[in-house]
Amino acid sequence: MSIRSSAEWGALESHFASVKDTHLRDLFAADPGRGDTMHAEAGDIYLDYSKNRLTSETLQLLLALAERADLRQHIDDMFSGKKINVTERRAVLHTALRAPRDAVIEVDGHNVVPDVHEVLDRMAAFSERVRTGDWTGATEKRIRNVINIGIGGSDLGPAMAFEALKNFSDRDMTFQYVSNIDGTAFVEATRGLDPAETLFVICSKTFTTLETMTNAHTARNWVVDTLGDAAVEHHFVAASTNSEEVARFGIDTDNMFPFWDWVGGRYSYDSAIGLSLMVAIGPERFGEMLAGFHAMDEHFRTAPFDRNLPVLLGLIGIWYNNFFGAETVSILPYDQYLWRLTSYFQQLDMESDGKSVDRSGDPVDVQTGPIVWGQPGTNGQHAYYQLIHQGTKLIPCDFIGFAKPTHDVGDHHNLLMANYFAQPEALAFGKTREEVEAEGVPDHQVPHRVFRGNHPTNSILVSELTPHTLGQLIALYEHKVFTQGWIWDINSFDQWGVELGKVLANRIIPVLDAAEDPDLDHDSSTNALIRRFRRLR
């Protein structure tokens, strides 16, 4: 039975009709203490969800929905290695990537935790060799530059985390992330670099992805042109599940760091895919990050749902997505180091929950994953916040801020955080016509300067940005996405939707290269565009 037909969903629908027009101003007036009560905490993360358009009854009804969806059982199934990725018949065990050494997590009767730690140990040994200069290039020059080549989950995770933790990285080295098949990405990343000092980490779960393999071959040529074929083993390592393809590329499989089919690409940066990050920040910091992930995993697995951060975030998201009809969610980190966080969350959420059939293959009868977007504050405030404040759309926002600054420069941090506090306040309470008029605003401007308010936000306040808190934050959102996917009864762990475009691109490649004008058998629009491209090129 679809969740939509459940009594719990029906109860939420009736409740929605009675609260949908209630203003946050009224909710705070009726319960002035809601800012103190509507919060939850886990580890270093404090979540204030009081500025949401919900009451304690809403919350009870949402929690009942989670019970109805048997969420607890499904959480246990994921953590215990059940094959919950039903379409690919795979376990979903990114949580095993950060499990302590003595944990036991079995897939098909095999404990995977020792395998995880064996790879982590190899990564640590390798990272230390690069960081200390013991691992050198073909001419025995020290490695100064690390370039990660990958795309999607094999890029966004390590790239986001490297940027987030840059302050913990070895500043005598450079780290770059090449993903786009546009040759510009490779050319700009290698501009001015000495191949003899450059190490490529080729990251690809499948080791067949067009973009990654094209960039990897270009990198290989770039190294070989200067240093010869024998240099490849000194300048290339790989993270992959496909040792055959790694060997075929010419990388010594001793320099391959494996992971497993139960690690989804967008959940993979704790695995060997994080190698460039480990080289950057060192194994100890990487371990602290994994411990942060694990702490949030344990919270998600064990905390009661009414105090469970990922569950609360997931349920609140469902409230807007499925009852208010909000189409998007904006994630707004108030920290410059997190400038790639929202891109990372886009893949995490939109590739996971962008589905329109349920786990049995039947069309869903509820809205599924939202459109995720945003960029760091305060930049966005001077760009698109206007629409959030005064546009016609309902855009729930997550504000993420840190109590301690990474760099204590003058009064920057207090100014940043004043904005972090002010925006949710302005969004919630707005400014009434009476207030605007009382300010003596000219009549013709009054309607333009009224802020309706009642825009919902979550405020996520973290102690400071460290590897440990980053791990907690990322796991928080991973499990939020899981919570929502289960309640919608979709498989959050496959991504068949990206296939069709890949297949069609492969059909078009030879046509672009053909010497003679090819017979085109696409639709008239695609045919005309290809012809024009061939003429102009």
> Active-site residues: which are they?
351, 382, 502
Residue 153 or 456 having the CB closest to ligand F6P: 153
Compute the residue count for the chain: 537
**94 touches ligand F6P by CB under 6 A:** no
Residue 81 or 152 having the CB closest to ligand F6P: 152
In angstroms, give the least distance from the CB of 94 to ligand F6P: 12
**157 touches ligand F6P by CB under 6 A:** no
> Mapping DSSP to helix (H, G, I), strand (E, B) and coil, where does residue 177 land?
strand
Residue 155 or 288 having the CB closest to ligand F6P: 155
Q: Which of 43, 81, 137, 153 binds ligand F6P (CB under 6 A)?
A: 153
Q: Which of 190, 209, 368, 483 binds ligand F6P (CB under 6 A)?
A: 209
Does residue 199 contact residue 207 with C-beta atoms inside 8 Å?
Answer: no
Interface with ligand F6P by CB under 6 A: which range of 174-182, 205-213, 428-436, 510-518?
A: 205-213
| H or E, element range at 506 | helix 499-513
Which ranges in 191-258 belong to alpha helices (H)? Answer: 210-227, 232-235, 243-249
> Mapping DSSP to helix (H, G, I), strand (E, B) and coil, where does residue 238 land?
strand
Interface with ligand F6P by CB under 6 A: which range of 145-153, 322-330, 394-402, 408-416?
A: 145-153
Smallest CA-to-CA distance from 430 within 396, 448, 455 is with: 455
Rounded distance, CA 490 to CA 344, Å?
Answer: 21
Q: How many C-beta neighbours within 10 Å does residue 39 have? A: 16
Number of alpha carbons in the 13 Å side-chain half-sphere of residue 227: 23
**274 touches ligand F6P by CB under 6 A:** no
Residue whose beta carbon is closest to ligand F6P: 265
Residue type at position 165: L
Q: Which of 179, 204, 276, 406 binds ligand F6P (CB under 6 A)?
A: 204
In angstroms, give the least distance from the CB of 356 to ligand F6P: 17
At a CB cut-off of 8 Å and minimum separation 6, what does 37 contact? Answer: 31, 50
**265 touches ligand F6P by CB under 6 A:** yes
Classify strands 106-107 and 110-111 as parallel, antiparallel or unpaired: antiparallel
In angstroms, give the least distance from the CB of 86 to ligand F6P: 17
Which ranges in 324-466 belong to alpha helices (H)? Answer: 341-346, 352-353, 385-390, 412-429, 433-438, 446-449
Q: Which of 152, 287, 317, 401 binds ligand F6P (CB under 6 A)?
A: 152
Provide the sign of the torsion angle of the four alpha carbons 300, 303, 309, 311, taken in this order.
positive
Interface with ligand F6P by CB under 6 A: which range of 203-211, 370-378, 510-518, 519-527?
A: 203-211
> Mapping DSSP to helix (H, G, I), strand (E, B) and coil, where does residue 332 land?
strand
Helix then strand then coil, in percent of the chain rounded to 5, is: 55, 10, 35
**215 touches ligand F6P by CB under 6 A:** no
Residue 127 or 271 having the CB closest to ligand F6P: 271
Q: Which of 40, 93, 146, 151 binds ligand F6P (CB under 6 A)?
A: 151
**498 touches ligand F6P by CB under 6 A:** yes
In angstroms, give the least distance from the CB of 493 to ligand F6P: 10
Q: Which of 179, 212, 352, 483 binds ligand F6P (CB under 6 A)?
A: 212
Binding mask 342-361 for ligand F6P (x = CB under 6 A): ---------x----------
In angstroms, give the least distance from the CB of 428 to ligand F6P: 36
Smallest CA-to-CA distance from 207 within 177, 242, 236 is with: 242
Which ranges in 256-346 belong to alpha helices (H)? Answer: 275-281, 283-302, 309-318, 341-346
Residue 498 or 504 having the CB closest to ligand F6P: 498
In angstroms, give the least distance from the CB of 465 to ligand F6P: 25
In angstroms, give the least distance from the CB of 499 to ligand F6P: 8
**504 touches ligand F6P by CB under 6 A:** no
Does residue 424 contact residue 399 with C-beta atoms inside 8 Å?
Answer: yes
**422 touches ligand F6P by CB under 6 A:** no
In angstroms, give the least distance from the CB of 535 to ligand F6P: 31
Q: Which of 53, 90, 131, 205 binds ligand F6P (CB under 6 A)?
A: 205
Classify strands 145-149 and 110-111 as parallel, antiparallel or unpaired: unpaired
User: In sequence order, what DSSP letters do the residues of 9-38 get, joined into one string?
Assistant: HHHHHHHHHHHTT--HHHHHHH-TTHHHHS
H helices, E strands: number in the chain: 23, 13
Residue 154 or 457 having the CB closest to ligand F6P: 154
Smallest CA-to-CA distance from 371 within 408, 333, 320 is with: 320
Interface with ligand F6P by CB under 6 A: which range of 48-56, 148-156, 510-518, 522-530?
A: 148-156
Structure tokens at 123: 């990564």
Interface with ligand F6P by CB under 6 A: which range of 32-40, 152-160, 216-224, 475-483?
A: 152-160
Q: Which of 15, 235, 266, 468 binds ligand F6P (CB under 6 A)?
A: 266
> Mapping DSSP to helix (H, G, I), strand (E, B) and coil, where does residue 158 land?
helix
Strands (E), 457-501: 457-462
In angstroms, give the least distance from the CB of 19 to ligand F6P: 38
Interface with ligand F6P by CB under 6 A: which range of 150-158, 193-201, 317-325, 525-533?
A: 150-158
- How many residues belong to the site for ligand F6P (CB under 6 A)? 14
Residue 157 or 396 having the CB closest to ligand F6P: 157
Does residue 484 contact residue 314 with C-beta atoms inside 8 Å?
Answer: yes
Interface with ligand F6P by CB under 6 A: which range of 32-40, 147-155, 356-364, 440-448?
A: 147-155
Which residues bind to ligand F6P, rule: CB under 6 A? 151-154, 204-206, 209, 212, 265-266, 351, 495, 498
